[in-house]
Amino acid sequence: MASGILFLPSAVLNVGYMSAIPASLVAYGYMTVSSLLTAELLLNRCGETGRVRNVGLLELYNEYVGEKMGRWLGSALLPFAML
């Protein structure tokens, strides 16, 4: 992953820096919003149960979306989380 970040300037050289800046800002905004929403879900879960423990994303999906839909949603979105 670090090598991808280090080679980012050479990767956007053909496209141009002016078009890469808005794309980077959109990606940064998406990552920020999704991490804040995940943190909010974790804090809500901690407040509901009254105990602090590690909770995985699949457990959050199962709790808030439902058992069957949570499995499907978690399995479908997991490859996109690795991008």
pLDDT in tens, 5-39: 667 777 788 888 788 888 888 888 988 888 888 88
Ramachandran area for residue 76 (φ above 0: left; ψ -120 to 50: alpha; else beta): alpha
Question: Binning pLDDT at 50, 70 and 90, where does residue 1 land?
Answer: very low
pLDDT at 65 over 50: yes
Please tell me the pTM assigned to this model.
0.60
CA distance 41 to 55: 10
Instruction: Give a yes or no: residue 9 inside a domain.
Output: no
Instruction: Give a yes or no: residue 62 inside a domain.
Output: yes
Contact 63, 70 (CB under 8 A): yes
pLDDT at 46: 79
Instruction: Give a yes or no: residue 60 inside a domain.
Output: yes
Instruction: Give a yes or no: residue 12 inside a domain.
Output: no
Tally of structural domains, the chain: 1
